[in-house]
Structure 1
Amino acid sequence: MDIETLRRDTPGCAHRAHLNNAGAALMSRQTLAAVTSHLELEATIGGYEAAAAAQEGIEHVYDALARLVGADRDEIAVIENATRAWDMAFYGLRFEPGDRILTARSEYASNAIAYLQTARRYGVSVETVPDDEHGQLSVEALRSMLDERVRLIAVTHVPTQSGLVNPAAEIGKVAREAGVTYLLDACQSVGQLPVDVAEIGCDLLTATGRKFLRGPRGTGFLYASRRLTERLEPPFLDLHSATWTGPDSYRVRPDARRFETWETFYAGKIGLGVAVDTALDLGLDAVEARVTALAARLRDGLRSLPGVHVHDRGLRLSGIVSFTVDGHEPADLAELLRSREVNVSVSHATSAQWDLGSRGLPSVVRASVHYYNTEAELSRLLDALPAALPAG
């Protein structure tokens, strides 16, 4: 991996240490050019006409995403963001009173709110699977909680608030053995870790373009397995996802694009395809090795500072690093770092009540590395942190 070339191809690297890749990674020049050139084409010849002229690039994204996650192209839907992709999958499932949803304690707020809404609406039970001694979802506890009323296992692969990587493939094995639908939120894992839907055994998977894939904002995708798609009717349809076959009839299209809508961000689709090509060319094994090594170095550096606490748990860790500094609010630390041209983010308990809330952490600083980051940039973060203050 030629880091210097990758950094030269990433305009943002010239301006600041971007350690907020779990929020939105920096686009490459190639992805940026793909997006802007299509927008210029739309402005020059018209939106519909530009879409017709760019069909090859628009269709390519389906092949690229299918290759990325080990799916077939007819199992891929490109949707405006990961949350909407997840919603289209989740709200396409049918629930009845007494059904059970099993999920993880590290679940993201948007998903948890959807579970709770469904519980209120249909009388469904939402249950969090206990963590094991390492802080990840306990596969043994999951297996012990299964019965004929479990309708869905829904888990976030890499949570937004820490470096945890949940054991997705082991969860998938349990789900397959029990014949339970398995929905995996891979928003933070796709692009930094190898993700293969056959190996994982999930029926549904959602992810975004803007994070570790380094794609444009306003892009996301859904993998819906062929074996499940025909049994799922999206929560809303239009003339793209279905055909109006008669005055009082319609037919839902047979592939995963039943979860899409007709209007879409064509420039973003093309750019996403370019970003995915870059990830595939680099190789996700190489990407993970680079990302996890940088994250490990950052954790070691943080732990060496008095009064700094790293809050990541799990046997396997990702490129997300969560920490606090005694006597300093995470939001203030993020602002201080930003003033010194180091980008980080803050994760709040309102995004992860079952995890941060249960650990008594109102918020944490979230630094997230990518392969184009350097050890010098990690040092910039460490050097910019203020000294810890005594309690009280």
Structure 2
Amino acid sequence: MIDIEKVRLDTSSCETVLHFNNAGSSLMPKPVFDALQSVLGDENAVGGYEAERRAQAQIQAFYTEFAALLNANPDEIAFVENATRAWDMAFYGLHLKPGDRVITHGSEYASNYLALLQQSRRLGFEIDLVPSDEFGQIDVAALDNMIGPNTKLIAITHVPTQGGLVNPAAEIGKIARKHGVIYLLDACQSVGQIDVNVAEIGCDMLSGTGRKFLRGPRGTGFLYVSKDIMDRIDPPFIDLLSATWTGANSFEFVKGAKRFENWESFVAGRVGLMEAVKYARALGLANVETRVANLAQELRDALTEIKGVSVHDLGQRKCGIVTFTKDGIEPAAMADQLRTKSINVSVSAMPYARLDLEPRGLESMTRASVHYFNTEDEIARFVMAVKTI
């Protein structure tokens, strides 16, 4: 179980501002903040190079902590500056060509889909959209039937940014392995609130961020690439960290996933993210997942009781992201009014989820996400605020 009192002691400002926007930016625990400040203090006192040298143990721990979190090997983990760039480093390195087919879903993140469109225009491959089942999630049976000899990639978002849906990632992994198709999973919104195990899911690549449910610093991200597929990806750009200049006209990639990294990086952020992973692992991701799911369902049930409020989360399984609308008030206006009551939420809107929201006739939704540090009393306060607006 999670000791909420201790967690709240480690969470600054949560007593004055009610945070329900963890899908966008979560509160940073005190140990993470302290680790970040320690490295920045060294940079101020002795300069960046010496600060990095002093932080070597924590920098190396980044790989072992993430490996333990995801059930991977340390050499399958890379530090990248954000989730989108991590996804890009994997996707843009694939050898796709005219006639190939890539399968994705209407819940795919906007930046990912834009990248698919760009590379489709450049390289000539085709994009196939797998339909949704009766729950609004990926139809696994339809996916199985869609795969043909030219299908080279399945690119899926685990938890879409615009709702509480949890796509059946492990079932998709079984289909990918059955057909021998590369599987890229965007886990930006799931790692930190769901117990994510890459071996059980069966993905070849997984990308994510530090600043959301992991509660790490902004400007940090990570990439997992299975050792089984590492040499089949050509990183879209390299430098003196990711490759070795072996001769005047030759080079070699470094071993492992560090070939997807840059030499210049946010050292304090990397150390802070490592501490965030340690913090999450100490709480236990199974405990986190249970608490977040229970709090979110409590919030959905309470919102449903308010006249004029509609909850819009899809999926047979749901997570901590809760989306809703209220008759007569735009979601952006709802967010503004809640902010005057010291309640932070965010908004999911077109065109960032065009393939999902447009078919449902939705322009935007208020996104009120919970995390394990939220309490039942805070949910009651939030619901009362929505009711009175």
Equivalent positions of 1:90-239 (< 5 A) are 90-239=91-240
- In 2, Cα distance between equivalents of 1:117 and 1:382: 42
CA RMSD in angstroms comes to 0.9
Separation in 2, partners of 1:41, 1:30: 17
The residue number in structure 2 matching 1:11 is: 12
Q: Calculate percent identity across the aligned residue pairs.
A: 57
The match for 2:34 is: 33
Q: For 1:313 and 1:42, how far apart are their aligned partners in 2?
A: 46
For 2:201, give the aligned amino acid.
I
Report Cα offsets for 1:259-283 as digits up to 9, x if no partner: 0000011101111111101111111
Secondary structure class of the residue paired with 2:296: helix
Kept in 1: contact 2:102–2:127 (CA 8 A):
yes
1:324-335 matched pairs, under 5 angstroms = 324-335=325-336
Q: Equivalents in 2 of 1:43, 1:231: separation in Å?
A: 41
2:365 corresponds to 1:351:
no
TM-score w.r.t. structure 1 length? 0.98
Contact 2:154–2:184 (8 Å) recurs in 1: yes
The answer to whether the 8 Å contact 1:156/1:185 transfers is yes
Alpha-carbon separation, structure 2, partners of 1:70 and 1:100: 30
Give the whole-Å Cα distance in 1 for the aligned partners of 2:129 and 2:386. Answer: 36
Gaps of 5+ in 1: none
Moved over 4 A (4+): none
CA distance in 2, matches of 1:297, 1:319: 10
Confirm whether residue 21 of structure 1 aligns to residue 22 of structure 2.
Answer: yes
Q: Distance in 2 between matches of 1:282 and 1:326?
A: 39
CA contact (8 A) 1:80 1:220 kept: yes
Q: Distance in 1 between matches of 2:95 and 2:211?
A: 30
Does the Cα contact within 8 Å between 2:103 and 2:128 map onto a contact in 1? yes
The 3-state SS of whatever aligns with 1:34 is helix
Rounded to whole Å, the distance in 1 between the matches of 2:115 and 2:359 is 20
Asked if the contact 1:230/1:254 (under 8 Å) is kept, the reply is no
Taking structure 1 as reference, are residues 203 and 332 closer, same or farther at Cα in structure 2, changes over 3 Å only? same
Gapped regions of structure 2 (runs ≥ 5): none
- TM-score by structure 2 length? 0.98
1:35-54 per-position Cα deviation (integer Å, ceiling 9, x unaligned): 00110011111100111111
User: 1:33: Cα distance to partner?
Assistant: 0.3
Q: Say whether the 8 Å CA contact 1:311–1:323 is kept in structure 2.
A: yes
Q: Which amino acid aligns with 2:321?
A: I
Retained in 2: the 8 A contact 1:342–1:380?
no
Is contact 1:229–1:254 with CA below 8 Å preserved after alignment? no
- Aligned equivalents of 2:58 and 2:388: distance in 1? 51
C-alpha separation in 2, matches of 1:14 and 1:296: 23
**Paired position in structure 2 for 1:282:** 283
